[in-house]
Amino acid sequence: MRFSFVLSEVLTGLRRNVTMTVAMILTTAISLGLLGGGLLVVRMIDHMRDNFGDEVEVNVYLNKDISGTDKGCTAQPCAGIKSALEQDANVEETRYENQDEAFERFKRVFSGQPELLDLTRKEALPGTFHLKLKNPDRANVIVQTYSNKPGISSVEDQGIFLERFFGVLNGVRNATWVVAAIQAIAALLLISNTIQVSAFTRRTEVGIMRLVGATRWYTQLPFLLEAVVAGLVGAVLAVAGLVGIKGIFVDNVLAEPISAGIIPKIEMLDIFWPVAPILVAVAILISAITGYVTLRLYVRT
Amino acid sequence: MIRLEHVSKNYKTSTRPALDDVSVDMDKGEFVFLIGPSGSGKSTFLRLLLREEVPSKGKLYVNNFDITRMSRRRIPRLRQSIGCVFQDFRLLVNKTVAENVAFALEVIGKPSHTIKKVVPEVLELVGLDGKANRMPNELSGGEQQRVAIARAFVNRPLMLLADEPTGNLDPDTSQDIMLLLERINRTGTTVLMATHDHSIVDSMRRRVVELAFGRVIRDDARGVYGVGR
């Protein structure tokens, strides 16, 4: 196999059909970029699960009477609730935070917003049991068991909020992938069409190649490689696009929640591993398969 | 070299067979004219030899390849043993004379040092030395056909198929092309030439196989064009 020959055929083919080549590369790039964006959202959700998974708590809020009067949780019904929680098989750790402590934490968290601090009275904050569960999936059992107990105003499962947030992110991911899939169909059709046009413009060459006894590798590999090269360039553009969007857009827009530690930062490394190799692999695979099928269906051997 | 045993070829689009129970033998080193009016089956005959088509019936052997039973993967090997020349030359207009000839070797994976050696040799053989770097459109029709013959012969095939190679040329140029084909034939290469050219067939006095309605109606060892019609 003379690679220099095949390579020069590929380059000639791409140049000869330059408008189609550009269209093919751009569509592929957009499709892969969206796929990559979706993959990054998945990574983000995974990071968040890792970060928050251990810290997700169930909060048991006491009513105003107890919160205001029983700071040490020594009297009934607070002491009873405490011992019930401590002996609950689902609960791994129980931490009591009284009104004073809750207010101190509130002041700390919202130190940047003095207006809010001025408006908030200490009495508005309830005493709280922060529970860490042995199995976070059992949170609803705790919610059901303790919600209506005397002295308890409400039981809140933080995991539900987190899941709701993940739900939004998953929705974003799914929407991205649907658009990526539609774009991918356009890319496939373009690749297929480009190969057909390419084969048509080179029918004299291919005819001669067949007559002098060139194998199918020689006659068809240039077309196949044309598609793969375009796919690869598309993948590189997609990765560059992701890096650009991250740097210019995502980092700025999400700067606050990122610095507050709510949303994990998308690192450059996340884009280069494993997203970039995945995009390159998908690009090669899809363009090669499309090319092969097109040649099989439309181009005589 | 070539053996057809009761070969028939039917196309789906036609009720009449393109070739009908044809049996012919051609030996190594022969020079054979294949004649007959348009639609008599000459092109189908040549296409079968190249395995562009498969016989509907009968057996066909070319250069020891069993055409009727060979796998697709072996087709390139068969075609590498056959050179082809056409009425319309089929040169690549964006390549020079030398590049056109080299192309036939490049695409079958010959190493570049071989190509560098044999391309000038074959250009000299066909009388085109000194024109290696010309583009096809700078050449006369006869010269273009010489390039096509050089390309067909550069891989030293066992057999040369020529489909009306003089069809686009004036009589004098046609004569030159025939001399060239004779010269190639003298190297031991079988030449099978489909033609309508009376004067060439009559003057060369070689074997003539005549087809009509897909059948062989004449096979003369030293024939002329007109007899038997």
Contact flag B92-A208 (C-beta cutoff 8 Å): yes
Contact flag B109-A208 (C-beta cutoff 8 Å): no
What residue type is A85 in one-letter code? L
Is the CB of A15 inside 8 Å of chain B's CB atoms? no
For residue range A274-284, what is the model confidence (pLDDT) as tens digits?
899 999 999 99
- What is residue B228's predicted lDDT score, i.e. its pLDDT? 46
**Alpha carbons A70 and A244: distance in angstroms, whole number:** 56
A1 to chain B: nearest residue by CA? B109
Token pair for A267: 């690192």
Residues of B with CB below 8 A from A300's CB?
none
Residues of A with CB below 8 A from B107's CB?
5, 208-209, 212, 214, 218-219
Q: Residue A284 to residues A15, A32, A289, B139: CA-CA distances in angstroms?
A: 20, 11, 8, 44
Q: Which of B67, B84, B225 is nearest to B158 (CA)?
A: B84
The answer for residues whose C-beta is within 8 angstroms of residue B209's C-beta and 6 or more apart is: B24, B32, B33, B34, B35, B216, B218, B219
Contact flag A212-B80 (C-beta cutoff 8 Å): yes
DSSP state of B15: S
For residue range B52-70, what is the model confidence (pLDDT) as tens digits?
999 999 999 999 999 999 9
Domain map (residue ranges) of chain A? 3-52+163-297, 64-150
Question: What phi and psi, each to the nearest 5 degrees, are found at residue A128?
Answer: -140, 140
For residue range B113-164, what is the model confidence (pLDDT) as tens digits?
999 999 999 999 999 999 999 999 999 999 999 999 999 999 999 999 999 9
The answer for residues whose C-beta is within 8 angstroms of residue B155's C-beta and 6 or more apart is: A212, A213, B80, B83, B104, B105, B108, B110
- What is residue A1's predicted lDDT score, i.e. its pLDDT? 59
Reported ipTM: 0.90
Contact flag A2-B112 (C-beta cutoff 8 Å): yes
- Residues B93-111 have a mean pLDDT of 94
Whether A15 contacts A7, CB under 8 Å: no
Residues of B with CB below 8 A from A12's CB?
none
Sign of CA dihedral A206, A209, A215, A217: negative
DSSP state of A264: P
Find tokens 């079958």 and name the residue: B108
Whether A151 contacts A81, CB under 8 Å: yes
Token pair for A200: 């048509």
pTM above the 0.80 mark? Answer: no
Domain A64-150 has CATH 3.30.70.3040: yes
Give the dihedral of Cα atoms A208, A212, A215, A219; nearest 10 deg: -10
CA atoms within 13 A on the CB side of B48: 28
Contact flag B78-A213 (C-beta cutoff 8 Å): yes
Q: Residue B93 to residues A202, B31, B47, B96, B98: CA-CA distances in angstroms?
A: 12, 31, 25, 8, 12
Query: In chain A, which residues have pLDDT < 50?
Result: none
| Interface with A, mutate which of B103, B107, B114, B151 (most A CBs under 10 A) | B107
Sign of CA dihedral A207, A208, A214, A219: negative
